[in-house]
């Protein structure tokens, strides 16, 4: 799992407010189903009161976002996604591994997302169709397939044009892990960030391996 430097994680609501303000100035949208699944996981883990804490926090920050109004196929600012992760860390006491577990569970909690992934009959199919899969859920940036070796059992993607907050790397590794486990159906799946835009690289490189 990618590890974010602790000093980059807001410690309190004052720091969170500064970061959320910065995030909300960024452009780029995500499909509502991803956000809906995110709130479903928060409710499953923290109960309705946990969801309320996130909603109240976003409202305090000046960016109200009632989760019950989310429409699966509507576009919403990706800034909300990242703000929710960071808010959970501040007001719910989540750690980085909790964001990873959230991402790892999104497919299980979203029938629509799981259905799309199941259409990819093999990891090679995912590799070949990955750019289209990204475009179904995000209207900016791109997921670029770079290399797959089924004999040596590894796959490499580049994420380009996505630069919000390094906590996104934690989320993306958890999500890729879930996708690979659905496709490979094998043991020993491991996903890691090899290069990152948050470390000054031109793109983020994701390496997936399996046994």
Task: Print the domain residue range for 177.
Answer: 119-209
* 143: in domain: yes
Pairing of strands 75-77, 142-149: unpaired
Q: Which two tokens stand for residue 140?
A: 């900016």
Q: Verify that 105 and 133 share a domain, yes or no.
A: no
* 1: in domain: no
pLDDT, residue 59, reads 98
State how far Cα 123 lies from the chain centre: 20
Which class for 108: exposed (0-12), middle (13-18), buried (19 or more C-beta within 10 A)?
middle
* 58: in domain: yes
* Structural domains of the chain, count: 2
Q: Verify that 147 and 52 share a domain, yes or no.
A: no
Q: Verify that 42 and 135 share a domain, yes or no.
A: no
* 46: in domain: yes
Q: Verify that 102 and 11 share a domain, yes or no.
A: yes
pLDDT, residue 184, reads 80
Question: CA 26, CA 168: separation in Å to the nearest integer?
Answer: 14
Task: Identify the residue with better confidence: 21 or 187.
Answer: 21
pLDDT, residue 1, reads 83
- High-pLDDT (> 70) share of the chain, %: 94
Q: Verify that 144 and 193 share a domain, yes or no.
A: yes
Q: Verify that 18 and 101 share a domain, yes or no.
A: yes
Q: Verify that 133 and 160 share a domain, yes or no.
A: yes
Q: Verify that 20 and 102 share a domain, yes or no.
A: yes
User: How does pLDDT run across 109-120, given as a tens digit for each residue?
Assistant: 876 666 666 665
Collect all residues with Cβ–Cβ distance below 8 Å to 83 and sequence separation of at least 6: 19, 20, 23, 24, 58, 61, 63
* 15: in domain: yes
Last residue of a domain, one of 63, 81, 109: 109
* 187: in domain: yes
* 156: in domain: yes
Last residue of a domain, one of 74, 109, 144: 109
What pLDDT band is residue 186 in, cutting at 50, 70 and 90?
Answer: low
Residue 128: name the closest of 109, 150, 151 by CA.
150
Last residue of a domain, one of 62, 81, 109: 109
Question: CA 145, CA 167: separation in Å to the nearest integer?
Answer: 22
Q: Verify that 105 and 127 share a domain, yes or no.
A: no
Q: Mark out the alpha helices in the chain (DSSP H runs).
A: 13-24, 32-46, 48-61, 78-91, 96-109, 111-118, 123-137, 167-184
Q: Which of 88-102, 116-130, 169-183 has the highest mean pLDDT?
A: 88-102
Q: Verify that 99 and 186 share a domain, yes or no.
A: no
* 186: in domain: yes
Q: Verify that 179 and 134 share a domain, yes or no.
A: yes
For the cut 90, the answer to whether the pLDDT of residue 126 exceeds it is: no
By the 8 A CB rule, do 164 and 85 touch?
no
Q: Verify that 105 and 123 share a domain, yes or no.
A: no
Choose the weakest-confidence range: 61-75, 90-104, 117-131, 156-170. Answer: 117-131
User: How does pLDDT run across 8-39, given as a tens digit for each residue?
Assistant: 999 999 999 999 999 999 999 999 999 999 99
């Amino acid at each position: 799992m990618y590890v974010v430097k602790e000093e980059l994680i807001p410690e309190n609501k004052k720091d969170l407010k500064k970061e959320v303000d910065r995030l909300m100035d960024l452009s780029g949208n995500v499909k509502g189903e991803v956000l809906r699944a995110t709130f479903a996981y928060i409710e499953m883990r923290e109960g309705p009161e946990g969801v309320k804490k996130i909603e109240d926090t976003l409202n305090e920050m000046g960016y109200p976002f009632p989760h019950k109004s989310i429409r699966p196929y509507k576009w919403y600012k990706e800034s909300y996604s990242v703000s929710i992760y960071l808010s959970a860390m501040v007001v719910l006491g989540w750690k980085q591994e909790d964001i990873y577990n959230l991402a790892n569970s999104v497919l299980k909690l979203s029938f629509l997302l799981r259905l799309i992934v199941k259409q990819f009959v093999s990891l090679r199919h995912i590799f070949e169709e990955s750019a289209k899969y990204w475009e179904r859920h995000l209207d900016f940036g791109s997921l670029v397939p770079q290399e797959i070796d089924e004999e040596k059992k590894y796959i490499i993607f580049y994420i380009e044009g996505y630069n919000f907050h390094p906590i996104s790397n934690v989320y993306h590794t958890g999500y890729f892990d879930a996708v690979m486990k659905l496709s490979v159906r094998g043991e020993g799946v491991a996903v890691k960030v090899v290069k990152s835009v948050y470390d000054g690289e031109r793109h983020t490189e994701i390496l997936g391996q399996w046994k």
